[in-house]
Structure 1
Amino acid sequence: MRQLNRLNQFQRLWQPSEGAPQQATVAELAAHCFCSERHIRTLLGQLENAGWLRWRASAGRGRRGELSFLVSPDEVRALLMQQALDKGQQQSALALAQLAPEQLRHVLQPLLGGQWQNDIPTLRIPYYRPLESLTPGFLPGRAEQHLTSQIFAGLARFSDDSSQPQPDMAHRWQTDNSGTCWHFFLRPTLRWHDGESVSAEQILARLQTLMTQPMFSRLFASVAQIDAPHAWCLRFRLHQPDYWLPWRLASFGSRIAHPDEDRLGCGPFRLSHFDNSLVRLESHDGYHLAHPLLRAIEFWITPGLFDEQLGTSCRHPVQIAIGQQAQFPDLRPVSRSVSLGFSWLAIRQQGRLSAPQARYLMALIHQQGMLDALPLDPELITPSHTLLPGQQLPNFTDVAPVQLPPRLRLLYRLPVELHAMAQQLRRRLAELGCELELVFRNVKNWDDGLAVEEADLVMGDRLIGEAAEYTLEQWLRCDPLWSFILSGPQQAHIQATLDALQRSPETRDRNDALRRLFSRLVEQAIVTPLFNYRYQISAPPGVQGIQLNAWGWFDFSRAWLPPPGT
């Protein structure tokens, strides 16, 4: 890339004096730039014409001339990046941003937030880690789950305004009186991101592929057959009634990609670029619902900028700031909420803790201020008092102290705040004569190899979407964690309970039954919530239409930017 090479040469000329005027010979400047004297003369002329420096040569061979700098390399880099972005050349801009993180943030700041580029409203968000592949399925990361919801559509969807599934690729659905035959009627105007019409056969092929995956086979265990009786209709035949079926098809994991191209969907945004440095989404003109008001969303991956003082997108992954550093005094929280999801602790039922000991351990956590004393920012987390809105934790005040085993093992994973919880618990148990061994796994999801750890306690977190009760039903049904936590009879009983309640056609009855089920799990000291996160998004005044959703993000299709000068 010619511009990058020229910028690198300019940087080499700048470095000896760090921008102060220099007295140097042509030979010395050529040595700095690892080039010939002939080439350095040409380069100096080019840089002077560009307005970057001034070179005043002295007559005579070997005489020193004066080199003055009119701009800094960072200013040049920012200008070139801006010009590349104005032309829609994101890759060229990324190539120009080859800096250490502490330097990169200064160059990136003027380019972030809401920008109009060639009359194209664009939102640029710096992000603190590379994103995993954006394809439908049960993705572990919250950002990945949100982005797939912007790229891919499903037969149904959840909206921020309702816990009931809403029409998406299917404009409506119906079931027979038995609840075992469901028809989903497709919109005839569906288009993939490449402009191709969507067919029922393509959706059917993708669904059949999904059903072969272990998580989906558990989620859709009641489905006996899917077929397409008409060009605009899909039919689900079930072994037994499942009135959660529209909820299951609306969950983020059930979104539909093209059967031959995993990254091609028909959601409001199409994926135009994806690598470890840049993820770019562009609005889909053929989208079947309300069209986005932004034309592009860009995630600039800037590892090393994860610090509350650096002005990045993340003070913490649950608290996002959108804007330039110069705008930070004007940034205001535009949306806040306490997450429905929670961090949790579970006690293995065939481990070293008896039922009385398990209840005593839960009482230690909730009745002795352990959560309030965590060395964490209170603006970041809040102790949990419920698994589901409206529920209350059991009263542990009447739990009698009992002797704990001399040794216990705690297995835990991300989020990182569980490090503090693990240390707090280990210190408290040590005071009671119980040594707690900590085993950390740097993963976002459990897998079927969990049981080999032989842990007594397990900690993790659970994201909850728009439909809280249904999300927890899916957690119990699909997560391999429960086969490790519960005894065989307990797991069989819970699965039978889930199968029974899904037969109820009334949503309220299913939700109430799930609340009772989880209340029993908490009362029996099998699982308990620890803390919730405080979601927050801050933005400058110019970015409009931002409202937190259940995942701690915002619907990109609703955000918008006022035109310049208005």
Structure 2
Amino acid sequence: MRQLNRLNQYQRLWQPSAGATQHITVNELASRCFCSERHVRTLLRQAQDAGWLSWRAQSGRGKRGELTFHVSPDSLRNIMMEEALKSGHQHNALELAQIAPQELRTLLHPFLGGQWQNDTPTLRIPYYRSLDPLHAGFLPGRAEQHLVGQVFSGLTRFNGNSSEPTGDLAHHWEVSADGLRWHFYIRSTLHWHNGDKVETAQLQSSLIKLLDLPALRRLFNSVLRIDVTHPQCLTFVLHKPDYWLAHRLASYCSRLTHPDRPLTGSGPFRLTAYEPDLVRLESHEQYHLSHPLLKAIEYWITPQLFEQNLGTSCRHPVQIAIGEPDELANLSLVSSSTSLGFCYLTLKQSPRLSQMQAQRLITIIHHTTLLHTLPLDENLITPAQELLPGWTIPGWPTLNTVALPETLTLVYHLPVELHSMAEQLKRYLANLGCNLTVVFHDAKTWDGCSALADADLMMGDRLIGEAPGYTLEQWLRCDTLWPHLLSAPQYAHLQATLDAVQIQTDEQARHAGLKAIFTNLMENAVLTPLFNYQYQISAPPGVNGIHLNTRGWFDFTQAWLPAPNT
């Protein structure tokens, strides 16, 4: 990048005197800039023409000229960054910022939050990590799950925080009396992000590919086939009723991509950059529903900011700040909530761990100070009292006389708070004569975890989508945890019970059935929630329409910026 090279050379000229006038030879300047005398003269001439400095040379070899600076490298960097952003060259702006990681926080401040540039309302969100690749099916990260919902569409969708699905690519749907045929009537005005018209056969093709994925095959195990029964109608033929079908199709894992272009969707925003340091979304002008007011969303991914304590724009991944949080006077909390999602503990009952021993372990967790004394940031977590609202944790009589096993093995995966939980539990159990071996699976899911087979206890994180009850049904069907946790007969019985619940036409009856399943798991000391997170979003003045959703993010289609003063 030519601008970056020029800025680096200017920094070398400036640095020895910190901007004070210098009396120096061309040879010394060339040595400082690691170039020839001829090249340094060119640099000086270009910088002088740009108004950065003045160079008064003295005639005669070895004579000292006078070098006067008119602009600091920091201010010059800001000017270059602003020019790059106005020109739509976000990568150049980030590259310019990264030449001085120690000062990155200050440098990025003028460009974060809501900005109007070239009459384009743009929201820039600093983020603490690179985003994982987007692909069909399940994704482990909340940020990626949320992003999929902004870029891709499904046949159905959840509107806001409603747990009831509504039409998306399908305008509406009809279900046959026996529940075995579902007709989804496709809108006639659909377009992919590249401008091509969406064909119903393309949606069929994408759905068939989706159902070829093992986890999605388990989720849609009632689907026999998908037919194009009319140019604007897709028909799902089932071999057993599934009244969760519209919910399954509305979930982020069922969003549809172009069959030949996996990053091309038909959602409200299209991807124009998906790089380790920058993700940029631009509004889709041919979107079939309400158009967003923002033209562009950018994630500026700057891990340097977060290496010490998860850093500046994000005290924690569940506490997002749009803009520069160090400027507390300009940032305010605009939305907060307690997550419905939870970190959990599961207990595998076996000859090593009886049900009463498992119950005592759960009692220790919920009826001691263990959860309340975790060394975590204040207002980050809330100890759980129920799995979902109204799905309360069971209580048992005093179990202090129940002896714990001499040894147990705990396997856990991310998030990082479970590091603290594992160590706290290990210390607590050691005082009770139980040696807990702790194994960390460095991932956000159980996929590929070979240690599950020998684990007595497992800790993980259960994200909750827009339909909490259905999300937990999906968890039982698809997560690789359950076949390792339950015996083969228990797992088969669980799946059969889920099948019996899904054929209930009444939504309340299905929720009652799910509640009974999870109540049974909790009462049998197979599962207990540990804690929920406190979701927070802060923003500077002028960023409007931000309301937390169930994933701890906000709907980009609802955010807006007031027009700049004219």
- TM-score (normalizing by structure 2): 0.97
**C-alpha displacement of 1:327:** 4.7
CA RMSD of aligned residues (A): 1.6
Higher mean alpha-carbon deviation, 246-255 vs 315-324, is at 315-324
Hey, what does 1:547 align to over in structure 2? 547
Alpha-carbon separation, structure 1, partners of 2:387 and 2:315: 26
Alpha-carbon separation, structure 2, partners of 1:193 and 1:210: 20
Alpha-carbon separation, structure 2, partners of 1:289 and 1:43: 53
Alpha-carbon separation, structure 2, partners of 1:220 and 1:20: 71
Residues 1:116 and 2:113 aligned together? no
Counting only pairs closer than 5 Å after superposition, residues 9-88 of structure 1 correspond to structure 2 as: 9-88=9-88
Alpha-carbon separation, structure 2, partners of 1:314 and 1:379: 14
Alpha-carbon separation, structure 2, partners of 1:46 and 1:86: 23
Q: Is the CA contact (8 Å cut-off) linking 1:360 and 1:401 kept in structure 2?
A: no
**C-alpha displacement of 1:308:** 8.6
The Cα offsets for residues 307-344 of structure 1, whole Å up to 9 and x where unpaired, read as 79897331110000112468531211100000000000
Residues 1:353 and 2:334 aligned together? no
**C-alpha displacement of 1:441:** 1.2
Q: Is the CA contact (8 Å cut-off) linking 1:388 and 1:515 kept in structure 2?
A: no
**C-alpha displacement of 1:72:** 2.3
Q: Is the CA contact (8 Å cut-off) linking 1:200 and 1:233 kept in structure 2?
A: yes
- TM-score (normalizing by structure 1): 0.97
Q: Is the CA contact (8 Å cut-off) linking 2:126 and 2:323 kept in structure 1?
A: no
Alpha-carbon separation, structure 1, partners of 2:452 and 2:366: 29
**C-alpha displacement of 1:472:** 0.3
Residues 1:465 and 2:482 aligned together? no
Counting only pairs closer than 5 Å after superposition, residues 72-471 of structure 1 correspond to structure 2 as: 72-306=72-306, 312-324=312-324, 327-350=327-350, 352-447=352-447, 449-450=449-450, 453-471=453-471
Q: Is the CA contact (8 Å cut-off) linking 1:328 and 1:540 kept in structure 2?
A: no
The Cα offsets for residues 32-69 of structure 1, whole Å up to 9 and x where unpaired, read as 11222222122112212322223233343212223233
Alpha-carbon separation, structure 1, partners of 2:457 and 2:292: 45
Give the 3 Å change call, closer, same or farther, for CA 366–174 of structure 1 in structure 2.
Answer: same
Alpha-carbon separation, structure 1, partners of 2:100 and 2:351: 48
Q: Is the CA contact (8 Å cut-off) linking 2:26 and 2:41 kept in structure 1?
A: yes
Instruction: Give the length in aligned residue pairs.
Output: 566
Q: Is the CA contact (8 Å cut-off) linking 1:111 and 1:324 kept in structure 2?
A: no
**SS of the counterpart of 2:537?**
strand
Give the 3 Å change call, closer, same or farther, for CA 532–416 of structure 1 in structure 2.
Answer: same
AA aligned to 2:338 is V
AA aligned to 1:505 is T
**C-alpha displacement of 1:105:** 2.2
Give the 3 Å change call, closer, same or farther, for CA 326–441 of structure 1 in structure 2.
Answer: closer
Alpha-carbon separation, structure 2, partners of 1:266 and 1:385: 40
AA aligned to 1:355 is Q
AA aligned to 2:422 is A
**SS of the counterpart of 2:482?**
helix
Alpha-carbon separation, structure 1, partners of 2:43 and 2:101: 29
Alpha-carbon separation, structure 1, partners of 2:43 and 2:373: 62
Alpha-carbon separation, structure 2, partners of 1:19 and 1:529: 59
Give the 3 Å change call, closer, same or farther, for CA 215–44 of structure 1 in structure 2.
Answer: same
Hey, what does 1:537 align to over in structure 2? 537
Identity %: 59
Alpha-carbon separation, structure 2, partners of 1:526 and 1:309: 34
5+ residue gaps, structure 2: none
Alpha-carbon separation, structure 2, partners of 1:34 and 1:148: 47
AA aligned to 1:467 is A
AA aligned to 2:205 is A
AA aligned to 1:426 is K
Higher mean alpha-carbon deviation, 442-451 vs 152-161, is at 442-451
Alpha-carbon separation, structure 1, partners of 2:325 and 2:371: 34
The Cα offsets for residues 248-275 of structure 1, whole Å up to 9 and x where unpaired, read as 0000000000000000000000001111
AA aligned to 1:50 is A
**C-alpha displacement of 1:215:** 0.6
The Cα offsets for residues 87-139 of structure 1, whole Å up to 9 and x where unpaired, read as 11223223323325322222211111101110000011111111111233201
Q: Is the CA contact (8 Å cut-off) linking 2:414 and 2:461 kept in structure 1?
A: yes
5+ residue gaps, structure 1: none
Alpha-carbon separation, structure 1, partners of 2:60 and 2:325: 48
Q: Is the CA contact (8 Å cut-off) linking 2:226 and 2:237 kept in structure 1?
A: yes
